[in-house]
Amino acid sequence: MISRITITGTESTGKSTLAEKLAGHYKTVFVPDYSRDYISLLERRYNHTDVLHIAKGIIEEENKMAHYAHHIFFSDNDLINIKIWLRHYKWAVPGWLEDQILKRKSDLYLLCDVDLPWIADEQRQNPNDRAELFNQFKNELVGIHANFEIVSGTNPKLRLNGAVGFVDHLLSSKVY
């Protein structure tokens, strides 16, 4: 049985760094942020259809990487992120996405707090509404009765140590 742990939250909160460090710590695999690679290949601004393609890409990548996992794998980003992204831009959230969020619910979500400074890059767009978006993530997780923990800390080592504690707690309750 493979445990899936999803690193989630708004942009520029250390999700990618945390996913990679956790995978290294537990000697397993992680699914990189599919949206970042997808958007970097576009020669135009992304649209509603692109975001839905990203959702399908996340599903495909998670399914593929689960085969390489050693008891556990980490996913950098998730379908809840896609849902919030769609709503943020007032785009329709399809029923199949809602269904997949419930069907593919992770064993643990690590919700990254917004206590790290926002770092600009060509894909990031929301420096001023991070707290509001964080609350949307939290509300979505509560709404699906997800097992989640908030990962805080103003440096990557503190965040990693906190996340390892949450993952170890999850793993101690599992039988393999």
Q: Which residue did the predictor score with more confidence, 118 or 82? A: 82
Closest CA to 10 of 107, 127, 120, 122: 127
Please give the average per-residue pLDDT across 168-176, as a whole number: 83
Please give the average per-residue pLDDT across 134-162, as a whole number: 94
Q: Is the dihedral of CA 168, 170, 172, 176 positive or negative?
A: negative
**Confidence at residue 39, expressed as pLDDT on a 0 to 100 scale:** 87
Going by the DSSP 8-state scheme, the letter that residue 65 receives in this structure is H
pLDDT tens readout for residues 47-102: 999 999 999 999 999 999 999 998 999 999 899 999 999 999 999 999 999 999 99
Helices (runs of H) and strands (runs of E) counted in the chain: 7, 5
Domains recognised in the chain with CATH numbers: 3-172 (3.40.50.300)
Please give the average per-residue pLDDT across 157-172, as a whole number: 95
Please give the average per-residue pLDDT across 16-25, as a whole number: 94
Going by the DSSP 8-state scheme, the letter that residue 76 receives in this structure is E
The amino acid occupying position 149 is E
**Confidence at residue 175, expressed as pLDDT on a 0 to 100 scale:** 63
Torsion angle (degrees, nearest 10) of CA 76, 111, 109, 78: -40
